Amino acid sequence: MRSTLNLETVLQELHCHDEGDGWGNAEPYIWTVFFKVDGDNFAVEAGSGLIGSPTIVSSNGSHGNLGDTDVDAGDDVPIPEAVGRWSTKLKPIPINDAGLRSLLGADDVPAIAGVVVSVMEEDGWPDSLADTGYSAFVDAVHLAVVKVAASFQHALAAPTPQQIKDAVDVVKESAASSVRAAVKNAMSGWQLIWYGSFGNNDDSIGTEAFTTTTDELVDTPAITINRRWSGDESGDGDWELHGVFRGFPQLDCSLERLFMGSAAGGPEKAAQADSFEAMRAFREGRFRELPGLGAWWAEFTAASPALALLASKRPEVQDALNGLLQDAGTWLGNESAPIDAAAQERLNTVLDAVAEDAPSRTRRVVRQAKGLVERLDGVSFNDALRMAEELKPVGRTPRAVPDNNRSS
């Protein structure tokens, strides 16, 4: 029986090899629609085959949604999480038909998830036409995914990767034609004349659909998303999209699971238990008096499932976590205790693991955190807390941090 996975679909950045806009810089924006066909809404039923309704997740397709309207050759455009990231659970599709279970020798079939992306370049369209085009794009992807699922309704085996790819090609073609029709229908008479003759339409740089399955993610927990549109494949310029599918089991990401991947016994186990109690007491007490730490806690919480998976596979990460657990017990027992080079190394090991295959914003936060770690050698735990509390993660407004942060 297949396990449910935590899935993160992350579109990380758009690289401009050539903006293709002649004298001016480009103004890219992006349309994204995420989808899944899984056990949340599908099942294989006796006599009916695969039935259900796909999960479709959209955001906004407005002009400027990448936050950068002045892009030139060589620029990297980070894709905001609001339009480029989706986290969900990917559940295998149960087979409720006993005969088919016996025939396939399985209790379920793999779930499918994906994202359809269209990279656009703003030219002459008013904002309303971009919004109209995106609405049509979402509707087309929804309808096409429904048709793809229906095409597998009575299959006697899970679809192969090639079958999924062939079916997804239909999604791309359907979306492109639907957008053209919707935009044309939304244009007024003068707009039809203008954009059909002299006007400068927004350009579609390229459209692509990326998919994965539970089986693929079990074999390869991080699957690269990459597509370059250039030459005849591009509607304007030369652009490359980067991202990743990340799948990991539903691990218990409590403090015990994250910090105790390797069993401990005797005095070591007792010391770990003491550290946990000290950490919980800090979380319920002084932590609440330092509101700036909440932002860092949120970053760590979001990364903890992926970090737990890495720790289960890489002993050096688990060792660093276990060492930090012992450090925490020492520091919380005596907040004037200094942070030494060994603890800094453990912190850097964990931060480097968090950054692997992470979205661009998380990588920036990690770089910021590593910069803070560099300043902690010999600093007391109490002063380190104050420094972290004052230095907000990327995207938040920081307060100035005094240069002299060492305890006297």
Chunked into runs of 10 residues, the chain (408 residues) has average pLDDT values of 89 89 75 93 86 91 88 90 92 88 85 90 79 84 83 73 72 64 48 38 80 89 90 85 84 53 58 82 83 81 73 85 90 92 94 79 87 93 91 58 38
| Measured distance CA(369)–CA(347) in Å, rounded | 9
- Among the listed residues 381, 270, 397, the one whose alpha carbon sits nearest the alpha carbon of residue 330: 381
Residue pointed to by tokens 């450090």:
327
Specify the amino acid at residue 7.
Answer: L
**Strand stretches in 49-187, DSSP E:** 49-52, 55-58, 76-78, 85-90, 93-94, 108-109, 112-121
Distance (Å, rounded) from C-alpha 209 to C-alpha 211?
7
Question: Per residue in 106-159, pLDDT tens?
Answer: 899 899 999 989 898 887 677 888 888 888 888 888 888 888 888 887 776 677
User: How far apart (Å, rounded) are the C-alpha atoms in residues 110 and 90?
Assistant: 9
Provide the pLDDT for residue 179.
60
Q: What is the pLDDT of residue 250?
A: 63
Residues 6+ apart with CB under 8 A from 343: 323, 324, 327, 376
How many whole angstroms separate alpha carbon 225 and alpha carbon 219? Answer: 16
* pTM of the shown model: 0.69
Element (H, E) at 134: helix 127-151
* Domain match, 33 and 143 both: yes
Q: Distance (Å, rounded) from C-alpha 212 to C-alpha 39?
A: 15
Same domain, 206 and 58: yes
Q: Does 40 reside within a domain?
A: yes
Query: Would you state the pLDDT for residue 257?
Result: 55
- Residue 81 sits in the same domain as residue 158: yes
Q: What is the pLDDT of residue 397?
A: 44
Residue 361 structural domain: 255-390
Q: Which residue has the tokens 């002993």?
A: 315
Query: Are residue 61 and residue 77 in the same domain, yes or no?
Result: yes
Q: Are 208 and 330 contained in the same domain?
A: no
Residues 128 and 217 in one domain: yes
Between helices 360-374 and 341-355, what is the axis angle to 10°? Answer: 170
Say if residues 137 and 33 touch (Cβ distance below 8 Å). yes
Q: Does residue 198 form part of some domain?
A: yes
The total domain count for the chain is 2
- Both 270 and 178 in one domain: the answer is no
Q: Are residues 369 and 342 in the same domain?
A: yes
291 and 245 in a common domain: no
pLDDT digits (tens, 9 = 90+) for 277-316: 888 888 888 888 888 888 888 777 777 767 777 777 788 9
Residue 397 resides in a domain: no
Domain boundary, last residue among 214, 232, 249: 249
Q: Are 259 and 182 contained in the same domain?
A: no
Domain C-terminal end among 222, 249, 276: 249
* pLDDT reported for residue 351: 92
Angle at which helices 293-313 and 360-374 cross, to 10°: 100
49, burial (CB in 10 Å: exposed 0-12, middle 13-18, buried 19+): middle
Provide the b/e sequence for 101-126 (b: ≥16 CB within 10 Å): eeebebebbbbbbbbbbbbbbbbebe
Angstrom distance (rounded) from CA 33 to CA 141: 7
Please choose, from the candidates 382, 351, 377, the residue with its C-alpha nearest in 3D space to the C-alpha of residue 364.
351
Task: Note whether residue 395 is domain-resident.
Answer: no
| Residue 270 and residue 211 share a domain | no
Instruction: Indicate whether 75 and 114 sit together in one domain.
Output: yes
Joined tokens for residue 244: 């990743």
Going by C-beta distance under 8 Å and a sequence separation of 6 or more, which residues neighbour residue 191? 129, 199
